[in-house]
Amino acid sequence: MSESIIQVSNLSKRYVINHARKARYVTLRETLSNSVISLGRRVHRAFRRSAEVEPPSNREEIWALRDVSFEVNEGERLGIIGRNGAGKSTLLKILSRITDPTRGRVRIAGRVASLLEVGTGFHLELTGRENIFLNGAILGMSKSEIKSKFDEIVAFSEVERFLDTPLKRYSSGMSVRLAFAVAAHLDPEILVVDEVLAVGDVAFQRKCLGKMRDVAQCGRTVLFVSHDMGAINSLCEKAVLLHSGSVVMTGSARAVVAHYLEASEKLYSPLRGSVRDYGEFRVIGIRATQSGRVTEVIDCREPFSITIEYDVMQVVRNSRLFLMLRDRTGQLVIVTSDYDDPTDEALERRVGRFESAVTIPGKLLKAGPLYATIGADVRDERVVFLDADVLHLDIVDSVSDALSGRHQRDSAIAPVLAWKTAPVADQHQDLLRDSQAQLTPADRGAHE
Amino acid sequence: MTAAPLIIEAGRTEREYWKDLWRYRELFYFLAWRDILVRYKQTAIGVAWSVLRPLLTMLVFSVVFGKWAKLPAYGVPYPLLVLSALLPWQLFTNAIQEGSTSLVLNANMITKIYFPRLIAPASTVMVSVVDFLISLGILAFFMAFYHVPPSPRLALLPCFLGLAIAASLGAAFWLSALTVEYRDFRFVVPFIVQFGMYISPVAFSSRIVPQRWRLVYSINPMVGVIEGFRWAILGKEVEAYWPAFLLAVVAASALLLSGVWYFRRTERTFADVI
């Protein structure tokens, strides 16, 4: 049955940014003093706020979404991809009714649950048991529903022994497990997942992804926002590519992912000359260097390094800066972090400007395009920032010889590793004797 | 579950909203339950606190206003006069104090999931009602102590309680929505509470208000509510001033309806500005 379960037509969302103030919210004091200055405007705004009011000069409009339309059929798994700030999260917020669209219409035929909200409403003073009920209710489960699934939830979370312990005594890993356990036992017709907003470190997010796959296998409709192109490819049939609020492409996941990755450098690269501010971190730039030269074409036989330049704005203890390389299909090739073999700088993560470089040996990677994602996370806790597909590298093999055949292999990497083959003298004799024994079965009978 | 499809549109006034409110009633109980549980886990003296507060206030008011200022009690023990007023008054002030911050404190829920937002301030009012029930026990104790028998008028107490809840909800809706929009509004709330204490007959009987001002005075819905409580609890000694009750019904309804109206109007932008 392919009745469309979600219908999005001409959806637009506008945010108004007020440049006159720094804070996110207004204070009454400010408003009052403004009103003394321009009483008329204030009255106008107060009474006609919902209507279209032309913005005064210090207000800027940002269209987070612009005329977005698409349809999702029942049981379909749709991936939503795009750069940071492309409007993915806003779209999910509208679909889960957290915020209202400015224009357009959405028709949803089914119960929506979103995994944007893992652990929302958890209270540290309450016990694990109490939090399961509270969180379940917040996610829209009824009390009887929670009761019937309680044992399953507890088993999944692996915190049986601490059920009556207040959450404040839980390790962050434990509370995340508990939170995910509750969310995973929701039984919606439509599941909305935002990987970026999910809790936990990168490893935990990958574990959640596994659970997501199980859910998707049960024929449920899934909307999946992710930077993990491999996950999109393996989980979704269809995908929508968003760029600055508009739909750039809709189609099979494979085609959309390929287009996104190929075009990502030209179209979607934010790196040229723009500093990206993530609060605690500010990414200045990323570059690849080989033989002393900055380049994006890498000779696969020589080592090269990737350098990330960034400002640490705030001390983030135990944070690890990581680099992930993917190939054309989204398959992860390398995941590495500066915490694997931590230096003092990595451990302290002091405030200031830093450059972190990682060297990747030669004769390791296969020829073909590679896409680098960088980010930082705190183990078992959260992702500090994630900058997906920010560097596009072309790995090439300049020579064609006996070593070139490895590029055709199915594995993600094709390292040239050291093999050593030498005859082992004694064993050689044994083998010889065994083969002779087989030739004379009469002898064997005599032994018995 | 094959309910009618959900339509999300700009500025759509959903008829669904009230149905949703009913659908999410369990969340309402759970939030109230959470707040009560947390309060009694966090405060060292726990339940004792909701007993001590009205008790100490009653003591101070009786001494200051009854003994020293010698305000008339019209044949009722002064502590009972105060206590019967404190019941609805503390319900009201608790509700607006907790209610006004209910949205801001639950900001992470509001930015991450959908639920009818009215539930957040409403559940804090529910918590105040629980406190009210505890205070009711104290009142019963003092009525027995002063040998004031319960009169049949007590049957009407739920009506006055309903009126107090309506006024509390209305005020909580207004203040919570305003606090989201203007963060410094939380500084206004304590002032409202303090000011309200003087213009409501908590520490004294409203019969000391000059007759010609009595009607104007009764525009404050809490005047009617408090006098209603006294009338129902204290028996024959208290005579009814019906215009005040009528005005209280009108004012409380107006507060509630306008509160819902303002809340619903600003609700859509909560997630964006909070």
Write out the DSSP string of A380-448: TTEEEEEEEEEEEEEEE----SGGGGGGGSSSS------------HHHHHHHHHHHHHHH-HHHHHHH-
Chain B residues in contact with A120 by the CB 8 A cut-off are 108-109, 112-113
Confidence of residue B96 (pLDDT cuts 50, 70, 90): very high
Of A431-435, B23-27, B58-62, B260-264, least confident by mean pLDDT is A431-435
- Residue type at position A266: K
Interchain CB distance below 8 Å, A138 and B115: yes
3-state SS class at A195? coil
Q: What is the pLDDT of residues A301-358, one digit of tens each?
A: 889 999 999 999 988 888 889 999 988 777 889 999 988 888 887 778 889 999 999 9
Q: Which of A15, A116, A143 sits opposite B272 (nearest CB)?
A: A15
Average pLDDT over residues B152-160: 91
Smallest CA–CA distance, residue B123 to chain A, in Å, is 13
Count chain A–chain B contacts defined by CB atoms under 8 A: 119
**Sign of the CA dihedral running A225, A230, A233, A236:** negative
Interchain CB distance below 8 Å, B9 and A105: yes
Interchain CB distance below 8 Å, B30 and A134: yes
Smallest CA–CA distance, residue B132 to chain A, in Å, is 24
Q: Which of B5, B108, B184 sits opposite A107 (nearest CB)?
A: B5
Chain A residues in contact with B112 by the CB 8 A cut-off are 98, 116-117, 120
Which residue in A128, A195, A106, A253 sits closest to A386, CA to CA? A195
Confidence of residue A47 (pLDDT cuts 50, 70, 90): low
Supply the mean pLDDT for chain A.
Answer: 79
Q: Residue A439: is its pLDDT beyond 70?
A: no
Q: What is the CA radius of gyration of chain B?
A: 20
Average pLDDT over residues B122-132: 92
Interchain CB distance below 8 Å, A26 and B181: yes
Interchain CB distance below 8 Å, A105 and B7: yes
Q: What is the pLDDT of residues A159-172, one digit of tens each?
A: 889 999 998 888 87
Average pLDDT over residues A250-266: 80
Q: Residue B246: is its pLDDT beyond 60?
A: yes
Interchain CB distance below 8 Å, B5 and A121: no
- Residue type at position A243: H
Average pLDDT over residues A55-66: 72
Top-confidence range, A216-225, B171-180, B262-271: B171-180
- Give the residue from chain B lying closest to A103, CA to CA: B10
The pair of three-digit structure tokens given for residue A380, joined into one six-digit string: 């078992």
Best of B1, B2, B6 to disrupt the A interface by mutation (most A CBs within 10 Å)? B6
Average pLDDT over residues B72-76: 84
User: Which residues 288-347 of chain A have a CB within 8 Å of chain B?
Assistant: none
Residues 6+ apart with CB under 8 A from A80: A88, A91, A92, A223, A224, A225, A239, A240, A242
Top-confidence range, A41-45, A365-369, B164-168: B164-168
Average pLDDT over residues B116-132: 92
Chain-centre distance of CA A320, in angstroms? Answer: 16
Top-confidence range, A147-151, A227-231, A345-349, A382-386: A147-151
Kindly report the backbone phi and psi dihedral angles of residue B248, in degrees, each rounded to the nearest multiple of 5, phi listed first. -65, -40
Query: Does residue B114 sit at the A interface (CB-CB below 8 Å)?
Result: yes
Confidence of residue A207 (pLDDT cuts 50, 70, 90): low
Q: How far apart are CA A324 and CA A335, in angstroms?
A: 4
The residue count for chain B:
274
Chain A residues in contact with B273 by the CB 8 A cut-off are 24-25
Interchain CB distance below 8 Å, A121 and B108: yes
Q: Which of B5, B26, B185 sits opposite A109 (nearest CB)?
A: B5
Chain A residues in contact with B7 by the CB 8 A cut-off are 105-108
Confidence of residue A54 (pLDDT cuts 50, 70, 90): very low
Residues 6+ apart with CB under 8 A from A304: A288, A289, A290, A298, A359, A360, A362
Average pLDDT over residues A167-194: 81
For residue A445, what pLDDT is reported? 45
Interchain CB distance below 8 Å, A26 and B182: yes
Q: Where are the alpha helices (DSSP H) in A252-325?
A: 253-264
Q: Residue A362: is its pLDDT beyond 70?
A: yes
Cα–Cα distances (Å) from B88 to A14, A48, B129, B202, B232, in that order, read 44, 37, 9, 9, 13
Kindly report the backbone phi and psi dihedral angles of residue A180, in degrees, each rounded to the nearest multiple of 5, phi listed first. -70, -35
For residue A440, what pLDDT is reported? 53
Best of A11, A15, A66, A134 to disrupt the B interface by mutation (most B CBs within 10 Å)? A134
Report ipTM for this prediction: 0.82
Q: Residue A28: is its pLDDT beyond 60?
A: yes
- Exposure string over B34-57, b if 16+ CB within 10 A, otherwise e: bbbbbbeeeeeeeeeebbebbbeb
Of residues B141 and B49, the one with the higher pLDDT is B141
Of A342-346, A382-386, B40-44, B214-218, least confident by mean pLDDT is B40-44
Q: Residue A239: is its pLDDT beyond 70?
A: yes
Chain B residues in contact with A104 by the CB 8 A cut-off are 9-10
Average pLDDT over residues A7-15: 91
Supply the mean pLDDT for chain B.
Answer: 88
Smallest CA–CA distance, residue B111 to chain A, in Å, is 6
Confidence of residue A447 (pLDDT cuts 50, 70, 90): very low
Of residues A403 and A55, the one with the higher pLDDT is A403
Confidence of residue A37 (pLDDT cuts 50, 70, 90): low
Residues 6+ apart with CB under 8 A from B246: B224
For residue B249, what pLDDT is reported? 95
Confidence of residue A39 (pLDDT cuts 50, 70, 90): low
For residue A45, how many other CB atoms are within 10 A of its CB? Answer: 15
Chain B residues in contact with A133 by the CB 8 A cut-off are 30
Of all residues in chain B, the percent with pLDDT exceeding 90 is 49
Q: Which of A50, A98, A126 sits opposite B34 (nearest CB)?
A: A126
**Sign of the CA dihedral running B162, B163, B166, B172:** negative
User: Which residues 72-91 of chain B have a CB within 8 Å of chain A?
Assistant: none
Of residues B135 and A439, the one with the higher pLDDT is B135
For residue A444, what pLDDT is reported? 47
The pair of three-digit structure tokens given for residue B193, joined into one six-digit string: 């509470």
3-state SS class at A295? coil
Q: What is the pLDDT of residues B11-60, one digit of tens each?
A: 665 667 888 888 888 899 999 999 888 887 776 666 777 788 889 999 99
For residue A384, what pLDDT is reported? 86
